[in-house]
Structure 1
Amino acid sequence: MSRLVIVSNRVGPLKDTGKAGGLAVALVDVLRETGGLWFGWSGEVTEAGTFSELKRERRGNVELATIDVSPADNDEFYAGYANRTLWPMLHYRLDVAEFSPLFEAGYHRVNERFAARLRPLVGESDRIWVHDYHFLPLGARLRELGVSGPIGFFLHIPWPPTEILSALPRHRDLVRAMLAYDLIGLQTERDRRHFVDYLREEAGGHELPDGRWEAWGHTVRVEAFPIGIDTEGYRGFVATPEARREIQRLDRHLRGRAQIVGVDRIDYSKGIPHRFRAFERLLEDQPELRGRVSLLQISPPSRGEVFAYAEIRRELEHLAGSVNGRYADIDWTPIRFMTRGFPRRALAGIYARSRVGLVTSLRDGMNLVAKEYVAAQEPEDPGVLVLSRFAGAAEAMSEAMIVNPYAADETAAALQAALQMPLDERRARHGALYARLVQADARWWANAFLDRLAA
């Protein structure tokens, strides 16, 4: 019987601990249906690296198999090419991308090693589903090792226009390697257009009558599969003790005041400084809101070893301090900036008590925070989602208040409108958004991709 083999940089866990991301939970659920293997990095950095002993964990018919990486692999593959070259470039940030031959060599070395370690675990009838920018060339390496079965790839972050991607040294070699996949999935129709435009412009590719694309002697299907969340499951989190505890804490703290919430990793793609400036503009333009509304920004740090992330954290601390110094009162702090994470159940309670969910991404593959915020709202008295037009989620969440995060006045005006929105309009917007999230949830996303791969 055909197994599903999932490959991603980080894997698991096999049970929902409340800290696992919604995507991890969804992939485990899909694996359980037919049985399968999830292969990736153990999270450990050791001298043995990719030659380390294979770590295996089984729960029912699902197995995790992981290997370590070496210090050089971690520096060159993960912190280097993946997060200092590909991540900024795919988020349209050529100004902070680093193009290092050392990083590039490490990236391809690790992909070759992962393919070599995975190959003995793959059966002839297995379907392989590779995830994200860490493993763009992995399919090609697996084909070289004799894997002939279906291999699909899904990119969780944006795919940029050709004029941006073409700045990457040896970009043609990287995209040519991706054509070893049978199916390439992207988050949005915009990303799909960018990818096929690249095939047309750089590879002389053309579309076949069946919808596949032919380029460089390969055929591949390229489609958009917008990722969802476990909508009803996340809604259920609001009733858990962890969520109720946060709701009670916020009730005591807010005392009837409105709260705007943002939840993002500290990352230049998330537009958090733009968010702080828009909130400051709201307080400037609407003095009657001073003391009546606050912004809670939850930003667990990420990739602290990358200089750009340390810089943005310093900028955020400066901006928050400036706004608070200017507007705070004895019993009111305008911006509460927290650089630690919360379990998903606790976040559900925080979302539920926030009148506005604010997402100001400058570029985002999808942004599941926007969807989780909607899922956590009370249908009878829901909050309002203010969403950047540059987040992939905006493509299918038109009932949110869509804003340009670069325009502080526009975002501030949307925040004011959201805070003053009548109940019937809030219910109508939320109802439409929630119904669509239930229909296109994480299970739908995974099944849609795998059905297409099987076809």
Structure 2
Amino acid sequence: MSRLVVVSNRVGPVRETAKAGGLAVAIVDALRTDGGVWFGWSGDISPEGTHGPVKREEAGRISLLTIDIDQAAYDTHYAGFCNRTLWPIFHYRLDLAHFDRELERGYWNVNNRFATRLFPLLEDDDVIWVHDYHFLALGSKLRTMGANQPIGFFLHIPFPVPEVFTALPNHEALARAMLAYDVVGFQTRRDANAFIRFFVEEYGAQVTEDGLLTVQGRTIKVGAFPIGIDTDTFRQFSLSPEANRQGKRLKTLPGDRCYVIGVDRIDYTKGLVERFRAFSKLLENYPENRNHVSLIQVAPTSRDELDAYIEIRQELEQITGNVNGRFSDLDWTPIRLTTRPLRRRSLAGLYRACRVGLVTPVRDGMNLVAKEYVAAQSEVDPGVLVLSRFAGAAESLDAAIIVNPYDVEDTAEGIQRAVIMPLDERRDRWRQLFSKVQGEDIEAWYSNFLGALRATARKAA
């Protein structure tokens, strides 16, 4: 079997993937199957940057190869073009996007440098899998250096419709660079269709029903490969002693309580401000929930250096203070907000103990919290998932209560439906959701993508 070479912005961990979750779990499983290389940024900033030595760590059949970047590369690539330009545009927030040619040049330079350092490490029969918006152009750089191996790309965040994508200056160059990949994968059919529609409308591309896109002399496979979770492992987490301790802490609080759980890092894509307003509206419109229903929001901070994130945190704290001041009682607090990250076993215990899982991003590639909440539930007395229509997970988890996060009345009504839902309906919805989460687990994700990518190698041979 050919060696798998994975490229992503950050590398690892390998030995403690239970703490990392998501992408790390999938990549480690895929690499352990056949052995291979995981290449990316070391996380360190040094004067030598990408010109410094390749750092190597061996973990069984997996080789972790990383390089540093310098401060200028960090400022223009990661903190700059990636997070100030691509991230807001791909999440439909043109109003927050920062357009700067210097940041764009830094992005292309880092893609070029990483390709330059990776190319000598490749073997002829490798299969290369590049991840996420940090490296949209890396495949094209490898091709210009002479790489003929199958190269696939997977985008973990949404891909915007052409009307939004074309607002990006020099978007044509990025789009053409993505044609260097043999397989381009997205979280949802909606994202894949947006990518295809751009090339059809702008370049007159031809597309077949099975997702073969032909444009400018290239034919590539475009498809939806929804990422999942390690369902069985996470379900075991929810039954662990640490999880049970978390659940018991909620049960010891006084009174008849119903808990709603939200878990999101602080980011304008997660719809946290809209969620808090919707919960306030729930208490206004359905006063029977006062002294009964509480929102527990776990919201670790991220990207603290960006003004938009500082403002979100301040607004959340302000809304929390206002709601708790208006509605709280001596033995009941409506909103409990913590910005301290929790271990995954603790989160699993909270999921299992909470009647409602509230996952309401205003735009999200997939959102694995929705799948983790479902996996953690008791089949005898399951909770109810309330899910934004703009989360990628909504494409398959349609047995959830689907809401519009921009409509606080609609979201409040969705929470109310979940709170009062009869047990039989809760069980029926959960069985449908759990079947989907099991069927589209993390192994299915990487197996389907790599199967499509390796098929291109067989056709080429």
Q: Considering the TM-score relative to the shorter chain, is it more than 0.5?
A: yes
Q: Percent identity?
A: 57
Structure 2 counterpart of 1:299 = 299
Structure 1 counterpart of 2:458 = none
Please give the secondary structure, in 2, of the residue aligned with 1:405.
Answer: coil
The 5-angstrom pairing of residues 257-276 of structure 1 reads: 257-276=257-276
The answer as to 2:9 corresponding to 1:9 is: yes
**Are the counterparts in 2 of residues 172 and 202 from structure 1 also a CA contact under 8 Å?**
no
Structure 1 counterpart of 2:434 = 434
Structure 2 counterpart of 1:443 = 443
**Are the counterparts in 2 of residues 23 and 229 from structure 1 also a CA contact under 8 Å?**
no
The 5-angstrom pairing of residues 377-396 of structure 1 reads: 377-396=377-396
| Counterparts in 2 of 1:254 and 1:231: CA distance versus 1, 3 Å | farther
Please give the secondary structure, in 1, of the residue aligned with 2:26.
Answer: helix
Please give the secondary structure, in 1, of the residue aligned with 2:6.
Answer: strand
The C-alpha deviation readout for 1:70-116, integer Å capped at 9, x for no partner, is 11111110010000000000000000000011110111111111111
Structure 2 counterpart of 1:114 = 114
**Are the counterparts in 2 of residues 18 and 343 from structure 1 also a CA contact under 8 Å?**
no
Partner letter of residue 157 of structure 1? I
The 5-angstrom pairing of residues 365-404 of structure 1 reads: 365-404=365-404
Structure 1 counterpart of 2:96 = 96
1:16 deviation in Å?
2.5
Q: Which runs of 5+ in 1 are unaligned?
A: none
Structure 2 counterpart of 1:231 = 231
CA distance in 2, matches of 1:211, 1:320: 46
Q: Which moved more, 1:11-20 or 1:189-198?
A: 11-20
The 5-angstrom pairing of residues 137-286 of structure 1 reads: 137-207=137-207, 211-253=211-253, 255-286=255-286
The 5-angstrom pairing of residues 403-418 of structure 1 reads: 403-418=403-418
The C-alpha deviation readout for 1:332-357, integer Å capped at 9, x for no partner, is 11111111211111110011111000
Partner letter of residue 64 of structure 1? L
1:369 deviation in Å?
0.3
CA distance in 2, matches of 1:428, 1:407: 27
Q: Which moved more, 1:210-219 or 1:385-394?
A: 210-219
CA distance in 2, matches of 1:4, 1:72: 31
The C-alpha deviation readout for 1:216-273, integer Å capped at 9, x for no partner, is 2222111011111111111010122221221122222365401001000101111001
User: How many residues end up aligned between the 2 structures?
Assistant: 455
CA distance in 2, matches of 1:195, 1:428: 36
1:12 deviation in Å?
0.9
Please give the secondary structure, in 2, of the residue aligned with 1:98.
Answer: coil
Please give the secondary structure, in 2, of the residue aligned with 1:447.
Answer: helix
| Counterparts in 2 of 1:211 and 1:249: CA distance versus 1, 3 Å | closer
Q: Which moved more, 1:145-154 or 1:255-264?
A: 255-264
Please give the secondary structure, in 2, of the residue aligned with 1:6.
Answer: strand
Structure 1 counterpart of 2:66 = 66
Structure 2 counterpart of 1:287 = 287
1:318 deviation in Å?
1.0
| Counterparts in 2 of 1:306 and 1:382: CA distance versus 1, 3 Å | same
Partner letter of residue 116 of structure 2? A
Q: RMSD of the alignment, in Å?
A: 1.2
Please give the secondary structure, in 1, of the residue aligned with 2:20.
Answer: coil
CA distance in 1, matches of 2:333, 2:90: 36
CA distance in 2, matches of 1:274, 1:376: 25
Q: Which moved more, 1:179-188 or 1:326-335?
A: 326-335
CA distance in 2, matches of 1:3, 1:23: 19
Structure 1 counterpart of 2:127 = 127
CA distance in 2, matches of 1:365, 1:435: 21
**Are the counterparts in 1 of residues 130 and 154 from structure 2 also a CA contact under 8 Å?**
yes
CA distance in 2, matches of 1:172, 1:202: 9
**Are the counterparts in 2 of residues 130 and 151 from structure 1 also a CA contact under 8 Å?**
yes
**Are the counterparts in 1 of residues 211 and 223 from structure 2 also a CA contact under 8 Å?**
no
1:321 deviation in Å?
1.0
CA distance in 2, matches of 1:389, 1:285: 22
CA distance in 2, matches of 1:307, 1:264: 18
The C-alpha deviation readout for 1:160-216, integer Å capped at 9, x for no partner, is 110100000000110000000000000101111100000011122112587411112
1:21 deviation in Å?
1.8
The C-alpha deviation readout for 1:396-447, integer Å capped at 9, x for no partner, is 0010000011111111111111011111110010011111111110000100
CA distance in 2, matches of 1:44, 1:349: 34
1:23 deviation in Å?
2.3
**Are the counterparts in 2 of residues 358 and 386 from structure 1 also a CA contact under 8 Å?**
yes
CA distance in 2, matches of 1:209, 1:398: 24
The runs of at least 4 aligned residues of structure 1 exceeding 6 Å deviation read none
**Are the counterparts in 2 of residues 258 and 355 from structure 1 also a CA contact under 8 Å?**
yes
CA distance in 1, matches of 2:254, 2:406: 29
